[in-house]
Amino acid sequence: MVARDPSAGEVEEFLALAYELATHPIERFDDAAGRLAGTADGEVAVIASARRRVAARLRAAPDPVTKQVAALIRRAFEVGRWDWERYGPDASTRSV
């Protein structure tokens, strides 16, 4: 399998959960980040695209909820299980 661009629906689903989690008190941050990572279903491209969108929102109009979403996404990168090999420099020629 070759690295692919995520669909808009995948990214929207990911962001919807991120914002839902961020708007409520988070008692267990790692659990929330893990749930968010699971939504991406191992697709680095989904979480990377969502991260870019949130970063743009933070530059345009930073607010506490979007800052919390950014923190959740950062942590989701750390706790998620990602197939990083699919996204290396030669990913377009490698099959997984």
Q: Write the pLDDT tens digit of every residue in 72-90.
A: 999 888 877 665 565 555 5
pLDDT at residue 63, as a whole number: 95
Q: Which residues contact 42 (CB under 8 A, 6 or more apart)?
A: 80, 81, 82, 83
- Cβ contact 3:86 at 8 Å: yes
- For residue 13, the model assigns a pLDDT of 93
Tell me how long the chain is: 96
Q: Is the pLDDT of residue 70 over 90?
A: yes
Helix, strand or coil, per DSSP, at residue 95: coil
Between 26 and 47, the more confident residue is 47
Please state, as a whole number, how many other Cβ atoms lie within 10 Å of the Cβ of residue 74. 13
Domain-located, residue 92: no
Least confident of 2-11, 16-25, 60-69, 85-94: 85-94
Positive or negative CA dihedral for 71, 34, 50, 20?
negative
Q: What is the tally of structural domains in the chain?
A: 1
> Does a structural domain hold residue 2?
no
Q: In the structure, what pLDDT confidence band is assigned to residue 95 with cuts at 50, 70 and 90?
A: very low
**Cα 96 from Cα 4, distance rounded (Å):** 12
Domain with 37, as residue range(s), is 8-82
7 DSSP 8-state letter: P
